[in-house]
Structure 1
Amino acid sequence: MKILQIYELSPHDNVGTGGIEVAIMETSREFVALGHEVTILTGARDIPQEQIIDGVQIISIDFCSLMKYTWNGANLSLARQALFPLVVLFNRPDTYDIYHGHIYSSGLIANYLARRAGGVAVNTIHGSYYPIWSKLANPFAARFYRTGERILAPALAKLSDIQFHTGDYFAQQVLAWGASKQKVKTIHNGADIVRFSPSLSQIADSHLITSSHGAIDSSIPVILTARRLVKKNGIEYLIKAMQLVLKEKQCQLMIIGEGAEHAALEQLTHDLDLQDNVHFLGLIPHEQLPPYLALADIAVIPSLMEASSIFMLEAMAMEKPVIATNAGGLPEVLPQSTGILVEPMDEMGLADAILELLQCEEKRLQLGKKAREHVEVNYSWKAVAKQMEAEYMRLLARKKKTLENQGRNYPSLISKFAANIVFNLKWE
């Protein structure tokens, strides 16, 4: 099969820990290993270029520097999403069997290109903030984003041959909005179980991190989180929890990531007099994450909403005990036997869970081993790619049969999508 993955940000240009970029690159590597030809079509960071990484062709495109000026390594802007379809139209991709667009704009592009070429249109929704927009934005913006998701998600499910979800919580919402069960499937994210291996913990070297940041003492227990520094990821509650934890147990928090909340979070750290125990490490390329996880005693995902966190699965793969919030898709992939769930925005709950694990090494080890076993069986990227491959092949066979029987007489994408918008448009 020839597979085209479509997304506005490149997995190669993004220097941070963006989960969608990681998921696209990791599944693409696995598709190549399974014998398929894979191309990633993405917006350029600077100069448009073509390159091959691990057998995956990456084509970054631009038009009138629209992608160059909307690039942001820490965030996918609304402007970039809106302009990317225009850039694709002016670059005319080759013909493929599978057109796999990620999130909304790229999902529309995948449908348009698939209909032009007679290929299979696939859309992946990498989670949603729909349940918590009122906590993240002012009322007008919250209504705008909620209405946008309410229209686009079910419309894309109806347009696409299939819509994948990395969190079942939103898949069920899209079904409730009228999408067909035959068009919606949940496939959680995965982890590289070779690179993220518990054996790394035996050779962890804190000196590399100390020389770079001057603050890590491996003799003090390490709490680690790797998140974009935005409100929905709940870092402020983890910092507040640290104030409670440090009253009873000496430890340190390492925060990997960058984002709009960085300055406010650093200020909160100083206001609580935690600057000696909370370390902001900035953006760390994904391939450099394993040594940091190797040093961690506990991994924490304090999100207000999340799909199936790749960082959490990678921590589990390294036998690290995990504390996560009972939000979105996190409980879908973190059984009680492999970690601890607390309620979102509950610094007291986070603090109690951290203290429980810091004070009981036996429980940390037990949870870590169970977590590794769980990921090995269910959430390797190879297992994820095979699930997608099975759907690709089924849909491609069906598409070919339909073309043989009926020819290429498809309704136009614009008229069909407009009809779906009219049908689904509801202001809340």
Structure 2
Amino acid sequence: MESLRLLLVSFEFPPYPLAGTGMYTLNLVNNLKNHEVTLITPNHKGEIKEPINKNLILKKVDLSYKEAKVNRSFIDKKTLFSLKAKKLIKTLNLKDYDIMHSITLRDGAFLDYNYMNKYLKTIISVNDYYIIGSSWNPLSFEMTTDFPLRYFHHNIMKHFYFKALRNCNRIIPNTNYVGNIIEKKANIDPSKIKVVNRGINLSRFEVEPDKNKYNSHNVLFIGPNAERKGAIYVVKAAKEILNKFPNSTFTIIGSCSYFYKNKIKSFIKENNIENKFEFIPHLPQQELTKFYKRANAFVMPSIMEAFGQVYLEAMSAKTPVIGTNVGGVSDIITKDVGYLVPPRNSNEIAEDIIEIFSDSKKAKLLGENGRKRVKEKFSIERMVKETVDVYKSVLN
């Protein structure tokens, strides 16, 4: 097939701090080299430090005026971006493109699919299930420190998500688990759903471990939404780990609500282990490598998790990983690379970390197996090929 003319939509793109979705966007546009790619993205302020495909055409949406910062506000910057992208798309000659691909369901929630479908094929990538799977029954909703705001936000946004999913031509979930949730909750024909696991830039994290890595007794947690990612269960596991390995240290990288942060700090203070913890609110992707290099174990015991790109990053750096048996995590973590534990289970987290710390040879083997698994199953090349296959299938 000849070169495709692609119109992509993504809020996250450099210089915006890159989490999993931003890295997915960057990896995709940089490797669609044989196709004509146009990306609609905000006019984020700052210096672009990432290498960008020189043939990429950027169309910027102006979000320079003051906007709400709370991620679950109904008028936050991501909602504004989707609304403004809708307006921008209607100024374009859509006959110049073969496909519109929204990188996330949030980015595509407010686009006009009935209008776009007259001129091109429309695709949405779905990277999580938290809003799709939410319930109006408060007893079935995950209890968090920001429960009221999250409860109403999720259930109202779900209406727009379902409308977008039903009106687009194809859906790309990042795991089978997310695909099944979409099929059941939004009542989508399974033939419309094509799963593509994310890939990562292995060279970014394929670094040689520190000399003392497998005896460092350093536990690393990284999670931009620390409450959903289960940070407090790592903290609660610390006491048992320190009883066995008093020289252990814990690095927590991620953001959370004021109330959740106080909950964590209160526990640490009550147990007199403040000097064992290092808290870092946020770091750019390129600065995470040094933490992966030295970590003896990586732990992210999510309460809910669609995929978990940070597991792949840790595995690329030859770090044993511990995750929870929720969502799509089992697509990544096998017994050869680490451990799966039930959610909210500090005791099992402690047991598995102690096992890793007790056997440096096993820790090293888990780490080496992890890098091998990422190379074989989660490469960018595989992700791009499968994504292009979806593009071709929707056109045919």
TM range (shorter): 0.7 to 0.9
RMSD between aligned alpha carbons?
A: 2.9
Paired residue secondary structure (1:23): helix
Choose the corresponding residue for 2:15, options 9, 13, 20: 13
**TM-score (normalizing by structure 1):** 0.78
SS at match of 1:185: coil
Q: Which of these residues, 189, 196, 217, is aligned with residue 180 of structure 1?
A: 189
Q: Is the 8 A contact 2:127 2:178 kept in 1?
A: no
Matched-pair contact (CA < 8 Å) for 2:219–2:251: yes
Give SS of 1:200's match. Answer: coil
Pair 1:159 & 2:157 matched: no
Which residue of 233, 245, 260 maps to 1:237? 233
Structure-1 residue corresponding to 2:129? 128
Aligned residue in 1 for 2:28: 27
More helix by percentage = 1
Post-superposition shift, 1:31? 1.5
5+ long unaligned stretches in structure 1: 207-217, 399-428
8 Å CA contact 2:111, 2:164 repeated in 1 = no
Give the Cα separation in 1 of the matches to 2:311 and 2:359: 21
Counterpart residue number, 1:168: 176
| 3-state SS in 1 of match to 2:299 | strand
Residue 52 of structure 1: how far off its partner (Å): 8.2
Deviation, 1:150, is 5.3
2:227 corresponds to 1:227? no
**d(CA) in 2 for partners of 1:275 and 1:139?**
28
Deviations 1:45-85 (A, max 9, x none): 459x9x9823344443126x45x42357xx57542343223
Q: How far apart are the structure 1 equivalents of 2:168 and 2:360?
A: 48
Asked if residue 195 in structure 1 is aligned to residue 219 in structure 2, the reply is no
Identity of aligned residues (%): 20
Q: Secondary structure at the match of 1:3?
A: strand
Cα deviation digits, residues 242-278 of structure 1 (max 9, x gap): 1221111121111222332445434443333222111
Distance across 2 between alignment mates of 1:393 and 1:142: 38
Letter in 1 for 2:6: I
Residue among 4, 7, 21 paired with 2:7: 4
Distance (Å, rounded) in 2 between the aligned partners of 1:336 and 1:363 = 12
Q: Check the 8 A contact 2:226/2:254 in 1, yes or no.
A: no
Moved more, 185-194 or 325-334: 185-194
Describe the shift of the 1:53–1:176 C-alpha distance in structure 2 as closer, same or farther (beyond 3 A): same
> Is residue 253 of structure 1 aligned with residue 250 of structure 2?
yes
* Secondary structure of residue in 1 paired with 2:84: helix
Give the aligned residue type for 1:70. Answer: A
Cα distance in 2 for partners of 1:293, 1:76 equals 30
- The one-letter code matched in structure 2 to 1:180 is D
- Bigger RCO of structures 1 and 2 (CA < 8 A, at least 6 apart): 1
More divergent stretch after superposition (282-291 vs 305-314): 282-291
* 2:83–2:111 Cα contact (<8 Å) kept: no
User: 1:283 aligns to what?
Assistant: 282
Secondary structure of the 2:322 match is strand
Q: Which runs of 5+ in 2 are unaligned?
A: 135-139
Residue-by-residue CA offset, 1:349-396 (whole Å, 9 max, x unaligned): 111111111111122122122222211111012211111011112212
Q: Answer yes or no: is the 8 Å Cα contact 1:229–1:262 preserved in 2.
A: no
The question of whether the paired residues in 2 share the 8 Å contact of 1:44 and 1:60 is answered with yes
| 1: CA distance, partners of 2:116 / 2:15 | 26
Answer yes or no: is 1:87 the counterpart of 2:95.
no
